[in-house]
């Protein structure tokens, strides 16, 4: 559920010209394409039809049901669409239409602030999404979607998936390089094998290189991210039964776990692409 306030919704509705069930200039087909491209969501899914099937009613349900990250990202894209249309519209308008258009233009900046608020503090996984597409890694893409949808509403699931994200990253890279690890290796084994294959081990750094000691420390710390997330998952994430009275971590802790996993996996994938 997003944290949009009634006042924020009213501003967005006015900017997106949602009176009468419409949304901007969209038809049923173009709004479907827009949402697929912006947030990989089927806006015509039955879950968004609880209060009716007009485009405006589906958008309101999307605001109600989805988390701040997805709503913020979709809102940001829709504001850009509205801004482009408003400032490229025909000058042949009646005085009434021109006045309404001017009012909508004045809403652009306040609405951008709404999108920024919704996205503030969120972990940006867009680079990893493009990586998943590059490697045709459907499982990786699914993990990213699971993290985005759970980081606020189900921190335990996000923490567990962050650990799995590193495992998938390592397995994908090692398979691409013809060096898969046999059996069911744990995350320390996978991380160590991947770092070695990518020559990201401290002993691979020339002692004469500027800042070699700093680089070595950073590389040593890379390997501990996966280990730490595995331990955190065991304590707080999904995957193990717990005492019925046990309490979990908060969304900010999930963001820390996901941020660490995203930083590591992005670095590993980028290194894999840039080195033979």
Contact 108, 85 (CB under 8 A): no
Domain-by-domain residue ranges, the chain? 6-119, 126-274
Cα 25 to Cα 5, 78, 103, 158, 229: the distances in Å are 25, 11, 17, 36, 45
- Give, for all 276 residues of the chain, the pLDDT tens digit: 788 999 999 999 999 999 899 999 999 999 999 999 998 899 999 999 999 999 999 999 999 999 888 899 999 999 999 998 887 755 455 565 677 788 888 999 999 999 988 887 667 677 777 777 766 667 777 888 888 777 777 888 888 888 888 999 999 999 999 999 888 888 889 988 998 898 876 666 666 666 667 777 777 787 788 888 888 877 765 555 555 444 567 878 888 888 888 888 988 998 898 887
Q: In 3-state terms, what secondary structure has residue 199?
A: coil
Report the alpha-carbon distance of residue 54 to residue 233 in Å, rounded: 42
Cα 191 to Cα 17, 159, 169, 200, 220: the distances in Å are 51, 18, 9, 11, 11
Q: Please, is 161 exposed, middle or buried when counting C-beta atoms within 10 Å of its C-beta (0-12, 13-18, 19+)?
A: buried
- Residue 96 backbone class (left: φ over 0; alpha: ψ -120 to 50; beta: rest): alpha
Residue keyed to tokens 């567990």: 160
**pTM of the shown model:** 0.59
Question: What's the token pair of residue 204?
Answer: 């691979």
Going by C-beta distance under 8 Å and a sequence separation of 6 or more, which residues neighbour residue 110? 11
Report the alpha-carbon distance of residue 262 to residue 233 in Å, rounded: 16
- Neighbour count for residue 181 (Cβ, 10 Å): 16
Contact 190, 265 (CB under 8 A): no
Report the alpha-carbon distance of residue 248 to residue 231 in Å, rounded: 14
- Residue 113 backbone class (left: φ over 0; alpha: ψ -120 to 50; beta: rest): alpha
Contact 126, 263 (CB under 8 A): no
């Amino acid at each position: 559920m997003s944290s949009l306030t009634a006042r924020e919704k009213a501003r967005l509705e006015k900017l997106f010209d949602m009176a009468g069930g419409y949304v901007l200039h969209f038809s049923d087909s173009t709004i479907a394409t827009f949402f697929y491209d912006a947030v990989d969501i089927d806006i015509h899914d039955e879950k968004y039809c609880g209060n009716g099937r007009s485009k405006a009613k589906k958008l309101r349900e999307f605001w109600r049901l989805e988390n701040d990250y997805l709503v913020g990202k979709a809102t940001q894209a829709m504001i850009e669409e509205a801004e482009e249309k408003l400032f490229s519209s025909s000058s042949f308008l009646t005085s009434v239409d021109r006045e309404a258009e001017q009012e909508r233009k004045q809403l652009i900046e306040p609405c951008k602030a709404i999108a920024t608020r919704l996205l503030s503090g969120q972990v940006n996984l867009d680079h990893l999404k493009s990586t998943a597409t590059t490697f045709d890694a459907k499982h990786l893409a699914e993990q990213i979607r699971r993290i985005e949808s759970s980081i606020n509403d189900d921190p335990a699931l996000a923490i567990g998936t962050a650990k799995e994200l590193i495992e998938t990253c390592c397995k994908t890279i090692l398979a691409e390089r013809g060096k898969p690890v046999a059996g069911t290796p744990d995350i320390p084994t996978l991380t160590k094998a991947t770092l070695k294959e990518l020559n990201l081990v401290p002993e691979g750094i020339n002692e004469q290189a500027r800042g070699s000691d700093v680089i070595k420390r950073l590389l040593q710390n890379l390997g501990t991210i996966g280990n730490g997330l595995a331990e955190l998952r065991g304590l707080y994430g999904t995957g193990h039964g717990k005492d019925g009275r046990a309490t979990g971590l908060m969304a900010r802790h999930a963001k820390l776990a996901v941020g660490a996993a995203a930083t590591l996996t992005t670095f590993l994938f980028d290194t894999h692409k840039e080195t033979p």
